[in-house]
Chain A
Amino acid sequence: HPSPPWDESWPQTWSACLAGVNLVSCEALTCPVASHSRNSASLCRSRLCFQFLGYNPGSEKIEVLRRLGYRRRIARKNSDELSPDHHSLLPLTQATPRARKAEKQAKKVNNMSQFRSEEMLYVQMFIQNDAAHDTLHELGAIGAIQFKDLNKDKSAFQKMFVQDVRKCEDMLRIIRYLKSEMESEKMMSRTSGVPVPKLSSLNELHDRLQELEKEMKEHSTSYKQLLAQRKELSEHLQVLRNASKWFGQANRSGVSFTAPTAGGDEDVGRGAGEMSALLEEGEQSRRPPSMLGHIAGCIPTHNVKDFAVTLFRATRGNMHLKHEELEEVKGMSGEENELKSVFIVYFSGERSRQKIDKICEAFAATKYSLPDTAAGQERTVQEVNERMKDLEIVVARTETYRRQKLSSVVEMVEEWEEQVEREKGVCHTLNKFNYDVSMKALIAEGWCAESAMDDVRRALRAGTLKSGATVQTVLNVLKTREAPPTYFKSSKVTAGFQAIVDAYGMARYQEFNPAVFTFITFPFLFGVMFGDIGHGIMMTMAGGLIILFEKQLKAAAANDMFGTIYDGRYNIFMMGLFATYAGFIYNELFSVPLEALGSTMWCSGEMDDPSCLNIPGINASTSLQKWIRTNINEAYDFKTQQSTGVEVSWDIYPMGQDPGWSHTANKLNSANSFKMKF
């Protein structure tokens, strides 16, 4: 507070504090600021601290606070920087020398935290019922607590928040349904930049989703009916078209298939080529047109074969079946396309008609009316065409409406899904909690890293504030004999290496963490094997690029293939670096020896290598001494076989393995053995 209206009682308080009075007794004091006195003790407590800190704390006040046990952020000189959030009041235990020593030790361990797993505390929380949801959302955001399931013995449906879980599952089901509908309309659910209006509660979302589902379902059924009608009509058209084609074909080519008729009149044995004409004739002369009956329709293509066989058996061969596969109907959206065939069966006799009718039914064939005469067919085609036209309009209108409906939510679905998933997670966690005796609070137990305790406390407070609950969440640290879980803190850089180590085995609590060394040893060993300047640089670049565009690529990491590479980007980068380094040691660039630091001092030892022949006194073909860049000519007189007194310099290759090795026959043997020993 800028100008605290200190009254007379305050020095007393200070001195009381200085004398080591516990915080609890301080709480009992009323706040000197008039406007603050209305609040409860805990609120007042925080204000009290405010004032100390706000008032440009002198050393005396800091001392008071220290004695009081408020350890946090006192050292910070600039009080302006302090946001209210940071004034957490953490009553410590009395700062006895022993405790201080323990704290020092803890700090030491903390410095080693890279090597050891985090120190864990077994915490117990009493969360007021109303605050539970919000608190858990806050806790979930930090992800610092591993809750223990206190209801292990209860079966899934006996747990307390099972209703909420169920509701969430129902919502997810509806969202899945909506998504599938969108997919069928080829709409991609996407997250737009526009923030989705947050629905105040999940119940509201649930209601909205249910409403949507109902609407969509009703609409879908009518839409499907329309589509089915349209399909039927188009099939009918196809049947008519094919039938007239067949009739025409038969007319032209005079293909003859016998069409035995029941009446046994003069039509028997006549070529069917004349059939359509005949039938027309028949109508003209008012003869019953049923001598040679036909049934036409559509049938799923995979049924055709059995259909034909069954027809043949049922009519004892007294029929003729003609069928043709339909080309897939284009422009038909929103339905699964099954391959269909058009068929027409000619038969004779009423009994056969009954049989064939039933067979059609059994094989899921749809029959369509096919007038006997060409004129009748023309008429039907026209009729069907007209109906089709009307239907097209209705279908188009329905489809637009449907698309509108869907596009109104298309941007929100993802966000909703996330919300619901989050909520489901919260409910699942809440199911792990116990009720206290009064049923007014939930008891949660779990493991929390000591270093994260402050965050947890802050989250708890934020949760309480958000929910508007009156009672703060109480956080206790319990002693337990259970083995604490291992928790290695890792950054995004070390996560990849930690994952590799974890894949081999988890260290026990506070055991040594090998991942720290792996950060160097793993890439190094990789480099030894992979060593090549060119390939190494390429690898480094690949890793570096992913790191550079880390944020942009994050979305692509959802892909399984790329996700693995993305997660290991720092590994790849490091491995690339070490491979380059090892490449310099091997003097290799893209598997080609690199003589960057002067040419090699070795000759290859082959007879036709002229550089070998220039060495005096040495038989190039037999001698082992094959180095050339040496002053041995000056240092040793080969004629007299005496040293000249000059110091011999062998001019060893300045770095790494001499590239000359690569020309030798035992290159692989020597390099392999070298790498292995490395």
Chain B
Amino acid sequence: SPVPLPPPQSSCWRRKRAEMITFNLDDGFTEAVVRGYRSGILSQGDYSNLGQCDGLEDMRMHLAVTDYGNFLQNEPSPLQTMTISEKCTEKLVEEFNYIRCNASAELAKFLDYITYGYMIDNVILLLTGTLHERDTSELLEKCHPLGKFQSLATLAITTSPKDAYKLVLVDTPLAVYAQKCFTESQDFTELNIEVIRNTLYKAYLEDFYAYTQKLGGATADVMGEILRFEADRRAINITINSLDTELTKEGRGELYCNFGDLYPEGVMRLERADTQDAVRQAVESFGQYRELFQEDQFNRDKSLEDWFFEYEVKLNKLAFEQQFQYGVFYAYMKLKEQEVRNIVWIAECISQDQKSRINQYIPIF
């Protein structure tokens, strides 16, 4: 049974005070850089301008006057939505790598933790892709560049979790997480990949959470809140997605993280839930999630996913309110990712002539 983590030590004032004095020794520059990047995030005005575009060429024109600059200047027209999203991600990765190169030891570790999430996504993408007999090179193209590692492509030749672990994952930073869940020697199936994904993620989140709490100070405060929400979101999603599947309740219970605002009572109730209604009841007593299902009923074009994204943006925005902590780096990556999603959404709406739905993006600043 999962052992609950010790309570966060963020209230220790002494640690906080020392942090304020010494933070800039190592991380002042990188924090300043990331805050500078932050001010380049598209504003409400930019979005409304983008919304008025008549075509992707117009979007290119407008994005050229924002912080994105000439990032599309060497692309021949007509422009594709794919190109825009690729180039946006490329820019984000460039910024991330710049920060990573300038990071101090502790911060570098923190930033590496961020990339592990992308690695897990890539691993799962490759495994599912191979299961469906997709071409490896095509899958590699779809992988997030931050989560790529050398032997990623070799995953395509593995057939069972045990194999995959022994051949590939053992060399990667994911080995610690994979150790526990890549033990079966039976072949991959749709279901066990899904389970593996969630166990991997659970292990990763728990480790990341423990690490941020160990760092203490404002980082623990800010990251704690964001990661607890992340854990809750996963718990709710897992429950809803597994309601009518062959996954047993015990199996489901093993996928929940051992921290989070819902942990332990909410999680226990979620584990027992059989219907959507039961999920709602389990979650309802937690203030921040109360409106989650209520809103869902009244407002149909706003999905659960959108609500989560919106809440995530809110938390990440709050991260910038505190100085001398690593939360800004994580928050910036998440916000920028949301921005890329927004741009792609708007671009898709424009190119598919669905202008009425254009306003469903999630505004950031």
A306 touches B61 (CB 8 A): no
Chain B residues near A169 (CB, 8 Å)? 73
Sampled A-B contacts (27; CB under 8 Å) = A155-B52, A155-B62, A156-B62, A157-B57, A157-B58, A157-B61, A158-B52, A162-B61, A166-B61, A169-B73, A177-B74, A303-B150, A306-B171, A309-B171, A310-B167, A313-B166, A313-B167, A314-B157, A358-B156, A359-B154, A361-B153, A361-B156, A362-B136, A362-B151, A362-B153, A362-B156, A363-B154
B49 within 8 A of A: yes
Q: Determine if A397 is an interface residue (Cβ-Cβ < 8 Å).
A: no
Residues of A147-192 whose CB lies within 8 A of B: 155-158, 162, 165-166, 169-170, 173, 176-177
Contact A173 to B74, CB < 8 A, known contacts A156-B65, A362-B136: yes
Nearest chain A CB to B312's CB is how many angstroms away?
Answer: 29
CA distance A212 to B227 in the complex (A): 54
Q: In chain B between 133 and 167, which residues have their CB closer than 8 angstroms to a CB of chain A?
A: 136, 150-151, 153-154, 156-157, 166-167
Docked CA distance A156–B59 (Å)? 10
A248–B62 CA distance with the chains assembled, in angstroms: 65
Q: Which of A170, A177, A355 contacts B77 (CB 8 A)?
A: A170
Q: CA of A618 to CA of B73 in the docked complex: distance in angstroms?
A: 86
B162 to chain A, nearest CB (A): 12
Expressed in whole angstroms, the Cα–Cα distance for A453 and B209 within the complex equals 70
For A354, give the chain B residue with the smallest CB separation.
B157
List the A side residues contacting B157 at CB < 8 Å: 314, 355, 358-359, 362
Cα(A177)–Cα(B150), bound, Å: 32
Given contacts A362-B136, A363-B154, 7 further A-B contacts (CB under 8 A): A155-B52, A156-B64, A173-B74, A361-B136, A362-B153, A362-B156, A363-B153
A314–B167 Cα distance when bound, in Å, is 6
Chain B residue numbers with a CB within 8 Å of A362 are 136, 151, 153-154, 156-157
Complex Cα spacing A162 to B157, Å: 52
Residue numbers in A under 8 Å from B49 (CB-CB): 155
CA distance A165 to B64 in the complex (A): 13
* Complex Cα–Cα for A158 and B52 (A): 9
Given contacts A314-B157, A359-B154, whether A176 and B74 have CB atoms under 8 Å apart is yes
Indicate which residue in A156, A166, A173, A355 contacts B76 across the interface (CB closer than 8 Å). Answer: A173
Partner of B150, one of A156, A165, A306, A314: A306
**B107 part of interface (Cβ distance < 8 Å):** no
Complex interface bits, A358-377 against B, C-beta within 8 A gives 1, otherwise 0 = 11011100000000000000
Chain A hits for B65, CB < 8 A: 156
Interface string of B41-84 (1 = CB under 8 A from A): 00000000100111001100110110000000110110000000
The 5 A-B residue pairs whose C-beta atoms are closest, nearest first, are A362-B153, A358-B157, A157-B58, A157-B61, A155-B49
Which residues of chain B are within 8 angstroms of A314 by Cβ–Cβ distance?
157, 167
Q: B53 touching A157 by the CB < 8 A rule?
A: yes
- Taking a contact as CB atoms under 8 Å apart, the answer to whether B136 and A156 are in contact is no
Contacts of B168 in A (CB 8 A): 310
CB distance from A17 to the nearest CB of B (A): 55
Q: Once the chains are docked, how many angstroms separate the CA of A303 from the CA of B150?
A: 8
Interface string of A335-372 (1 = CB under 8 A from B): 00000000000000000000100110111000000000
Shortest CB-to-CB span from B186 to chain A, Å, is 18
The CA of A587 and the CA of B53, in the complex, are separated in Å by 73
Closest A residue, CB atoms, query B64:
A156
Closest residue of A by beta carbon distance from B61:
A157
| Contact between chains at A157 and B153 (CB < 8 Å) | no
Chain A residue with minimal CB distance to B140?
Answer: A362
Once A306-B151, A310-B167 are accepted as A-B contacts, the answer to whether A157 and B73 lie under 8 Å apart by CB is: no
CA distance A576 to B136 in the complex (A): 69
Interface residues of B (CB under 8 A from A): 49, 52-54, 57-58, 61-62, 64-65, 73-74, 76-77, 136, 150-151, 153-154, 156-157, 166-168, 171
Chain A residues with CB under 8 Å of B154's CB are: 310, 359, 362-363
Residues of A within 8 A of B167 (CB): 310, 313-314
Contacts of B136 in A (CB 8 A): 361-362
Residues of B contacting A: mostly = helix
Name the CB-closest residue of B to A355: B157
- How many whole Å from A591's CB to the nearest CB in chain B? 42
A157 touches B62 (CB 8 A): yes
Output the residue of A156, A157, A310 with the most chain B CB within 10 A: A157
Name the CB-closest residue of B to A163: B57
Residues from chain A with Cβ under 8 Å of B62 in the complex: 155-157
With the chains together, A542 CA to B54 CA distance in Å?
Answer: 58
B155 nearest CB neighbor, chain A only: A362
Question: Across the interface, which residues of B come within 8 angstroms of A162, CB to CB?
Answer: 61
Name the contact of B57 in the complex, choosing from A166, A303, A359 (C-beta under 8 A).
A166
Q: What is the CA–CA distance of A166 and B72 in the complex, to the nearest angstrom?
A: 12
Chain A nearest CB from B123 CB (Å) reads 14
Closest B residue to A217 using CB positions: B76
Contacts of B74 in A (CB 8 A): 173, 176-177
Complex CA–CA separation, A278 to B136 (angstroms): 38
Q: Which residue of B lies closest to A177 (CB)?
A: B74
Contacts of B150 on A, CB cut-off 8 Å? 303, 306
Q: Given the complex of chains A and B, what is the CA–CA distance between A303 and B149 in angstroms?
A: 12
- Inter-chain contacts of B57 with A (CB < 8 A): 157, 166
- The complex places the Cα of A361 from the Cα of B151 at a distance, in Å, of 11
Q: How far is the CB of B69 from chain A (nearest CB, A)?
A: 13
- Cβ distance B136 to chain A, nearest Cβ, rounded Å: 6
Inter-chain contacts of A156 with B (CB < 8 A) = 61-62, 64-65
Distance in angstroms from B160 CB to nearest chain A CB is: 13
Q: How far is the CA of A240 from the CA of B52 in the complex (A)?
A: 62
A contact residues around B171 at 8 Å (CB): 306, 309
* Interface members, chain A 288-345 (any B CB < 8 Å): 303, 306, 309-310, 313-314
- A592–B149 alpha-carbon span in the complex (Å): 66
Using Cβ atoms and an 8 Å threshold, which residues of chain A touch B61? Answer: 156-157, 162, 165-166
Q: How far is the CA of A156 from the CA of B64 in the complex (A)?
A: 9
Nearest residue, chain B, Cβ from A158: B52
Which residues does chain B contribute within 8 Å of A177, judged by CB atoms? 74
Q: Which of chain A's residues has its CB closest to B57's CB?
A: A166
B361 to A: closest C-beta gap in Å: 17
> Complex formed: what's the CA distance from A676 to B76 in Å?
63
Nearest B residue (CB) for A302: B150
Which of A158, A176, A355 gathers most chain B CB within 10 Å?
A158
Q: Which residues of B contact A361 (CB under 8 A)?
A: 136, 153, 156
Contacts of B58 in A (CB 8 A): 157
Q: How far is the CA of A105 from the CA of B284 in the complex (A)?
A: 82
Q: Shortest beta-carbon distance, B261 to chain A, in Å? A: 42
Closest to A180 in B: B74
Interface centre among A155, A158, A162, A303, by most chain B C-beta atoms within 10 angstroms, is A155
Residues in A whose Cβ lies below 8 Å from that of B77: 170
Cross-chain contact of A173 among B52, B64, B73, B156 (Cβ < 8 A)? B73
Most chain-A CB neighbours within 10 Å: which of B62, B73, B151? Answer: B151
CB distance from B42 to the nearest CB of A (A): 13
What is the CB-to-nearest-CB distance from B349 to chain A, in angstroms, rounded to a whole number? 16
Residues of A near B54 (CB, < 8 A) are: 157
Q: Which residue of A lies closest to B171 (CB)?
A: A309
Smallest CB–CB gap between B156 and chain A, Å? 6
Give the chain B neighbours of A309 by CB distance below 8 A: 171
CA distance A306 to B49 in the complex (A): 49
Q: Shortest Cβ distance from A12 into chain B, in angstroms?
A: 62
| Complex: A314 Cα to B61 Cα, angstroms | 51
Taking CB atoms, residues of chain A closer than 8 Å to B64 are: 156
Docked CA distance A310–B136 (Å) = 17
Cα(A363)–Cα(B154), bound, Å: 8
List residues of chain B with CB within 8 A of the CB of A359: 154, 157
**Which residues from A are CB-within-8-Å of B53?**
157
Quick one: closest A residue to B59, CB to CB? A157
Q: Which residue of A lies closest to B157 (CB)?
A: A358
Inter-chain CA distance A162–B52, complex, in Å, is: 15
- Taken together as a complex, chains A and B put the C-alpha atoms of A169 and B79 apart, in Å, by 14
**Smallest CB-CB separation from A357: which chain B residue?**
B157
The CA of A144 and the CA of B238, in the complex, are separated in Å by 68
State the CA gap A170–B76 with chains docked (Å): 8
